[in-house]
Structure formats: C-alpha cells, structure tokens
Amino acid sequence: MPMITADDGTELYVKDWGQGAPVVLIHGWPLNADSWETQALGLAEAGYRVISYDRRGFGRSGQPFAGYDYDTLSDDLATVIKALDLKDAAIAGFSMGGGEVARYMSRHQGANVSKAVFVSSVAPGMLKSDDNPNGAPADLFEQMRQGLRDDRPGFLADFFKDFFGQGTPEGGVSDAQLNWAQGMAMMASPKATLDCVTAFGTTDFTGDMDSIKVPTLVIHGTGDKTVPIEATAHRLVKMVPTARLIEYDGAPHGLTATHATRLLDDLKAFLA
C-alpha cells in the first residue's frame, strides 16, 4: 500500500482497494484505518474504490510531534484526495473523522467531493456551551488526558467498554475485538493520542456546516455514551439542509463493529 507525503513531510499510510466510484473512509480516535474493515471490504466487493488511511500519529503513519489540529488534519485529507486523483468522491468520517469531513468541506471548498457521511461523528462540536447545552464539559477532556498520561493502556481498556457498549442490549463485541481495538490504539503516538482529545473535544465546527452542500448521510446510535447524539447528530441535521439522519436505536458509539453489516448496507444504499 502507498505512503503519501503530507505538506509537512509526514508519511500517511493509505489503503486503496477496488475499482469504481471512490469512497474515502476516515477513522475515529484512537484507532486506525483497519477499524473500517467490514465496510472497506464490503464496499470494494460492491464495486467501489475504497481509500482508507491512518491519521497522522496513528497506526502506520508517521508520528510528528505536532500537527494534530483540524486544519492540518483536513489538509492531510486534501493531500490524499489530490495524490490519488480522486474525483466525485464520497467522504465518510467516523467519530473524530467527522471533524475532518466538516473542516475539509469549508477549508478546501469540498473539492472533488460528491457526498458526505458522518458516522457517530463529533461534528458540529462536543463542547458544552450556551448553544450546545447537551455537550460535554471541558474538564471531561482534561480528565481523559490525565488518564492517558497516568496509564494509557488501562485508560483505553476502560474507554472501549463504553465505546462498544459492553453489557448493553444493543452493544457489545467479543473479547477478541476489544483486544484488537486496544492493539490499534496502542500503535498510536502518545502525543497524538493526547492532542487529538483536545482537537475532537474542543473544536467547534458550526462555522463549517454552511459549506456542506452535497447529499449528506448522518448515522448515530441513540445509546452512544462517547459522543452523545443530542449534542452532535441532532444539531448537525438542523444545520445542513441536505442531511438525512438514520438513528440506530440503543446502539453505542462503535457502530463500525457492533452494527457492522447494517452500517455497510446503509452506506451502500446511500452511495447508490
């Protein structure tokens, strides 16, 4: 698989599968492109060209000490799209990856993008404010950063229980999948892991929403404890006239795994 060089020299690991209309899959924190496995394989088998890449600092990409803000991250997405000469691509962001989709549409004018997808996405913003009363308080993200500094493996092991909704009626994955997620997370740079908590937790994307003019699909679980639906998806669809929301009743945050086949089917239906 190719390595694509970002503007600052950071190497980005990219998987490019299949042939057909392009679909770019942007992973969530603190995982990497492998977390899209079911959807990437299924879309490629359905006749799409599927591009998934490891965000800088994560997986097999380079680990610079800086550059974990959404302007830089959306520039990385633009670099991937340009390097692979993608035209009329659909871009899909899971969780933190939804921020890249939103910022790309404004900062890069949605160049060469025909559709947008937000899955369990942080956009239009997670931070609690007068405009977002259901958001998370700032000290929650500071607690996350401190937990990562104190015991990154232990923090992440606990984090993934809520991420996948372990023990809930509509959630839960196998111990093997929990271990796999933990392994992906531990591949990441500790600096990237910390800085991206600040990025996805405190970035306000409301100013990016007006730039989204393409057909847009929003998928979110009503049982999401990691990125609550009221603070994100419910607000997004009010700001983007082209957006359609599909709620997964009771589903947790990690839809790519807990509702892998249903998500694949909904993506195929939207892309068609």
- Residues labelled catalytic: 95, 224, 253
Residues in CB range of 101: below 8 A, 6 or more apart: 26, 91, 92, 93, 116, 117, 118, 121, 123
Query: Can you say how many angstroms the Cα of residue 172 is from the centroid of all Cα atoms in its chain?
Result: 19
Looking only at the bridges linking them, the beta strands covering 11-17 and 3-5 are antiparallel
With contact defined as beta carbons under 8 Å apart, do 155 and 146 qualify? no
d(C-alpha 248, C-alpha 21), whole Å: 27
Q: Determine the Cα–Cα distance for residues 72 and 32; give it in Å rounded to an integer.
A: 17
Rounded CA separation 107/246 (Å): 27
* DSSP bridge partners of 3: 13
Strand partners, 14: 53
From CA 117, how far away is CA 164, in angstroms rounded? 20
How far apart CA 154 and CA 171 sit, in angstroms, is: 21
Q: What single letter denotes the amino acid at residue 31?
A: L
**What sign does the dihedral 56-231-159-171 (CA atoms) show?**
negative
Q: Is the Cβ–Cβ distance between 188 and 215 less than 8 Å?
A: no
